[in-house]
Structure 1
């Protein structure tokens, strides 16, 4: 029994269903008819790094320790980019290797730095630029580059009115390159398990959602007339690339079971929400009383904010600053922004009860003994959490009167495990088409404002498809979570399922004969392991953070 997994970042039925109906994704239609297809719920927050981490560990972030693209060092406000070393639990690759299964892994997020596996592994886009330790075995990178040219990991093109063609051209180039490398590696050595990752859908949907969504407030009919068909055609090409990989794998071994999946869904952004501004207005966050802070605050209230600068740059044609390749210059600009505008440097932590940090507005209590300048005693922690949660549910869009927060969760219902101390304290979902703006601490003086920049962002509903000799035909997959995929793979391959995984085997899409004949074996608990904090230089750390920020991954 072999298993091939193809990860399609951010793939969503919001786009794929109409594309399937209009002939752009015939292979996905075939998967639906000849196999199983359905929604795959992701973890909170629906961010690439923790989502793929939950896939490859079968655990929630409280057990593997990756909550975001950035990890906040305990006892500090310093944030560093995550990588594979941050995973506080054993991964699918390690489980396979220990069981003697050979594998091919192509650029799945959080595979940098590469680690020994029983097979071959290529790293992902979280590697710092210039890194050459991008493969296992180490010599594989040169072999791949000798055949296909420089290993393409980093997307440089972002949306501006005059740059759509370049965004699409880069996506097409990267996808074709990834396809060719994947085919080569699948043919190179025998394998039992393989996974190939495509990130182009995520990039396209962040940058160009408005091009093919006429309901987007950023939609431009003339722009759509010029580029919508080419944008839709990207999915046709990707669909065919997936078909070719599946055909290759099943030609090698007809008993190859296939899983297609995304790490999260996608949807439009109509409005941004600035949660540090909200916390400031609600009295949970306090500013210093010194003169420089008072001056900054007065200018801030007049609209002198980073978002104003961004909008002016767009209006005057300087939006290509986002495309600048000068990392040092950009980091100096960001440092200047933090010095010139309100930032956490201006917060009076002794009077602050909570602050927001993260791509989805995650709120942390300024807890004594945990935060570097903690002011809230443990005895008041739950009261503060409940107060914030209640106020969030009262937050309304001043223009429409609509609720902005759709639900507030108990932390324990979303996260549990050995790394719970790193979890946000207040966990909530936003109403459809609202997005937290988290690039800078105080990006705008408005709590709610019209979105700018990226026109699409993540949702909780990804997708999953299954195809193979042991998969039922024409079945709708229901009640599936991204944490369920790894236990399902282990079961398909006849391997024990560690007892502390949070996911469950998806048996409903599997043929009854297979389920009756395949024993479901429970293995020992894996437990947790120490996280290895990335040994980045300051320049490498800032380079990765700025690349993530420019691509819209940091709010």
Structure 2
């Protein structure tokens, strides 16, 4: 398919805004807050896009960069576990079992610059530059090639804002967000102008950070924070405009997010429910780790809403027999968890409960949770072990949504089917006129 005139060195640039919802952009463009995105909307080429389950950034961006589902790339959550001997860990790029977009492009001879995409730490070798995002801690270790660390330091690059400030001091949090965004964008423009590249990707993580701590304040038109929330997104939009203006002629621009957002009414502690209903038991009243479960435990949960059966032969303290006992317990839990209600309002908390085989496939399916619980908008599952109540309202006031991500592809009308985040990799391949490997599950949107 000849989608644009062949050039000797085609270019694609991605400006990704973590967590920005399609419906939010509609509202902001109507209010004049995001005029550059408004121009994109007027082309008729902006679409809502589906994310992944569970709908968290580490899983979503892993699916974007590999074009496959978690059962094939092996990133299932922000926290994961080794079942025997038991250990909990944060999955990094070392845990990813699929080749990434920038590795494919590098192998095809394309030069890449990738800045701040989650789950790229530690940085893999690429034909170009990769600055790791979320999970990176030190500038000396966050960039490939390593000698670019000195440039990042000279530019006062910031890996991430301090999200804990969002709980303690929102004024300091806002200042930290603004500074981090400014240094990230400055660094991107330095590299855009000084480096040769075919693929350039700038990821804005600060949008996700502000939504977690200020979304409800914006939605309720809080007199102190609503306008400052919109001002921040106006800055992101202005950065987008400058990003566009700096692109070489003929560059194909993609603007996207990985999920949507809505107000978080309450956090829900699934391990509390499992304990109260006789499925989870600990050796003491206030355990510090899941390693402290007793021999009576039949199931436990990790954030967000992933339920693991305490299966004999797999788990360190497994008691549930494989085959029929395992299957019966899965169906029992699926039915009971689906019926959980808010003890204060009587509202249904759960939207769906999936067996892992319903949404995942691949060589790493056996590492997925046995059940994946999807909450209704407004409720978010946590993995706490010592909560005295089923639900809690805290400082986090925004949560991710599955079906309200955003996508724009410059100058091209997309297929009529609903876009999925795994479709971006083959779409980018088609823009480069590179054949998509058969292992890729996503389908080009062009």
Question: Which TM-score band applies after superposition, normalised by the shorter structure?
Answer: over 0.9
2:171 — aligned with what? 165
Asked if 1:175 is matched to 2:181, the reply is: yes
CA contact (8 A) 1:65 1:419 kept: yes
CA contact (8 A) 1:62 1:419 kept: yes
1:34: how far off? Answer: 2.4
- Of 269, 276, 287, the match for 1:274: 269
Alpha-carbon deviations, 1:249-282, whole Å to 9, x = none? 1xx12x2111111111111111221111111122
Alpha-carbon deviations, 1:334-354, whole Å to 9, x = none? xxxx45xxx535421x22111
Asked if 1:376 is matched to 2:309, the reply is: no
2:376 — aligned with what? 431
Alpha-carbon deviations, 1:94-127, whole Å to 9, x = none? 1001100111111111221122211111122312
Aligned partners of 2:65 and 2:313: how far apart in 1?
32
Aligned partners of 1:71 and 1:89: how far apart in 2?
17
Aligned partners of 2:291 and 2:72: how far apart in 1?
32
Aligned partners of 1:345 and 1:137: how far apart in 2?
39
Q: Report SS of the residue matched to 1:461.
A: coil
Q: Report SS of the residue matched to 1:78.
A: strand
CA contact (8 A) 1:484 1:504 kept: yes
Structure 2 length-normalised TM: 0.93
1:155: how far off? Answer: 1.9
1:162: how far off? Answer: 7.2
Aligned partners of 2:142 and 2:51: how far apart in 1?
28
Asked if 1:199 is matched to 2:144, the reply is: no
1:74: how far off? Answer: 4.1
Distance 1:394 1:230, change over 3 A: closer
1:17: how far off? Answer: 2.3
More helix by share: 1
Aligned partners of 1:134 and 1:242: how far apart in 2?
24
Range that drifts further, 65-74 or 476-485: 476-485
2:5 — aligned with what? none
CA contact (8 A) 2:80 2:302 kept: no
Number of equivalenced pairs: 436
2:7 — aligned with what? none
Structure 1 length-normalised TM: 0.75
Asked if 1:392 is matched to 2:337, the reply is: yes
Q: Report SS of the residue matched to 2:42.
A: helix
Distance 1:42 1:392, change over 3 A: same
Asked if 1:142 is matched to 2:150, the reply is: yes
Asked if 1:501 is matched to 2:445, the reply is: no
Aligned partners of 2:356 and 2:14: how far apart in 1?
31
- Of 327, 344, 347, the match for 2:290: 344
Distance 1:398 1:123, change over 3 A: closer
- Of 351, 361, 366, the match for 2:310: 366
Range that drifts further, 35-44 or 393-402: 393-402
CA contact (8 A) 2:257 2:407 kept: no
Aligned partners of 2:440 and 2:368: how far apart in 1?
19
Write out aligned runs for 1:284-303 (5 A): 284-288=279-283, 293=284, 296=285
CA contact (8 A) 1:6 1:197 kept: yes
Aligned partners of 1:137 and 1:393: how far apart in 2?
48
Aligned partners of 1:162 and 1:86: how far apart in 2?
32
Asked if 1:465 is matched to 2:407, the reply is: yes
1:377: how far off? Answer: 1.1
Q: Report SS of the residue matched to 1:378.
A: coil
Write out aligned runs for 1:90-489 (5 A): 90-128=99-137, 130=138, 132-146=140-154, 148-149=155-156, 151-156=157-162, 158=164, 163-214=169-220, 224-249=222-247, 252-253=248-249, 255-288=250-283, 293=284, 296=285, 338=287, 344-348=290-294, 350-358=295-303, 360-379=304-323, 380-438=325-383, 440-442=384-386, 444-447=387-390, 449-469=391-411, 471-472=412-413, 479-489=418-428
2:77 — aligned with what? 68
CA contact (8 A) 1:35 1:465 kept: no
Aligned partners of 1:155 and 1:52: how far apart in 2?
19
1:468: how far off? Answer: 2.9
1:77: how far off? Answer: 2.9
Range that drifts further, 97-106 or 397-406: 397-406
Q: Report SS of the residue matched to 2:267.
A: strand
Residue ranges of structure 2 left out of the alignment (5+ in a row) = 1-9
Aligned partners of 1:397 and 1:124: how far apart in 2?
36
Distance 1:143 1:399, change over 3 A: closer
Aligned partners of 1:281 and 1:139: how far apart in 2?
54
1:80: how far off? Answer: 1.6
Bigger Cα Rg = 1
Aligned partners of 2:182 and 2:217: how far apart in 1?
22
Aligned partners of 2:65 and 2:301: how far apart in 1?
28
1:287: how far off? Answer: 3.6
Q: Report SS of the residue matched to 1:191.
A: coil
Q: Report SS of the residue matched to 1:204.
A: helix
